[in-house]
Amino acid sequence: MPVPILMPALSPTMEEGKLAAWLVAEGDEVRAGAVIAEIETDKATMEVEAVDEGRMGRILIAAGTEAVRVNTPIALLLEEGEEPSALDTALETALETAPVAGAQVSETQPKPADVSPEPRPATTLQSARPANGARIFASPLARRIAEQKGVDLAGLTGSGPRGRIVKADVEAAAAPTAAHPETAPTPMPASPSSETVAALYQDRRYEEVPLDPMRRTVAARLTEAKQTVPHFYLRRSVTLGPLLDLRRRMNGALEGRGIKLSVNDFIIRAAALALQEVPEANAVWAGDRILRFAASDVAVAVAVDGGLFTPVLRDAETLGLGDVSQKMKALADRARARRLAPAEYQGGSFAISNLGMYGIESFDAVINPPQAAILAVGAGAEGPVAVDGTLAVATRMAVTLSCDHRVIDGALGATLLAAIVAHLEEPLGMLV
């Protein structure tokens, strides 16, 4: 019987995705482990590997279709020796097993009269090891992950077609025990229905803009953050004169190497060093405990069309300013192209959001759980200051530290912010 290819869950927050492109056509031979499609998740465009071998029998969801829910059939794969006539029967069966939210079946194919509104729970199939123990049926990707994580495939029950062990089976076996349960995808927060809101503006002209996966995730996660994370805010001003002078001299010296340092590079470096000096603040909230880290993994907000990414600069305390600049530029470029791997934007214990380049003087940033703090950076501006009783002009920059009070108390947050400010006002120390 033809094997259904399902919309995979490619990130922890993914509930639905957009089928960006098919890399195979109907009739093409498909090998297990070969890349067959590109899926746009809430964070990036990622490649999808085939789990089984066969011939692409029918593409059910056309490229460019948005809002395809996880576990929805997107194609049917013919096994060796199967004829295309088997596809019509398989099509109806496959589409009954999972919903298509907002997606359309390809117009060239038959369309079922009714689609179940809710997905049916997945059924665990027979053991991947045959009774005679001759062979373990597992996808190439599952085998690679099992080898990396030290999982014995012989002890697993496969949930793929005909009991084949797939990636999800291996990851479930390698997952932490009940002390660290996986969390379900965050639902959209309760709010007035679209019909209720539209009724308020029925006499006005407007354009409806559908929510893409990224905007849905931003809306859900940040609403959850403001409702569940006890934020408090600490504010300081930074005198930028010494930093701007040092940056100007360093950029002159580095011009021949193609490196141009930004103020943001100095801020990242300052935060990474401060987290080492105040290790109690280098932590995240983990539900029933606090996790403190040895390394400074700093996330930096990057604006993209339709939303934002927060790529993580790992082990930032070990990087010089030039390395920070080059690595951050590479991450930002991949973020804007939506080509970040999950490992490049997940995790981090501290974040930075800089709106100074937009002329914003100061603002309060929302913490991205499970991180415990985020630094909001405003624009530097010249203004009058009093120095030893004398009025002078200096360039000052406002910064606001948002803290999760479950992890960081007021005095601890003040100590961390003071350490960041000290590095920015005495930037020569960051060169050591």
DSSP conformation class of 307? E
Cα–Cα distances (Å) from 136 to 80, 103, 123, 132, 165, in that order, read 19, 35, 19, 10, 8
For β-strands 390-404 and 231-239, DSSP reports them as antiparallel
Give Cα separations from 251 to 57, 321, 322 (angstroms).
Answer: 57, 11, 10
Cβ atoms 368, 374 nearer than 8 A = yes
Give the helix/strand (H/E) hosting 6.
strand 3-6
Q: Among this protein's residues, is 405 annotated catalytic?
A: yes
Could you tell me whether strands 298-300 and 350-354 are parallel, antiparallel, or unpaired per DSSP bridges? parallel
Tokens describing residue 163: 């009991």
The length of the chain is 432
For residue 370, cis peptide bond before it (omega within 30 degrees of 0):
yes
Rounded CA-CA distance 82/359 in Å is 63
Catalytic residue among 180, 231, 405, 423: 405
3-state secondary structure 52-105: CCEEEEEECECCCCCCEECCCEEEEEECCCCCCCHHHHHHHHHHCCCCCCCCCE
Q: Who contacts 334 (Cβ-Cβ below 8 Å, separation ≥6)?
A: 311, 340, 344
Just list the catalytic residues.
405
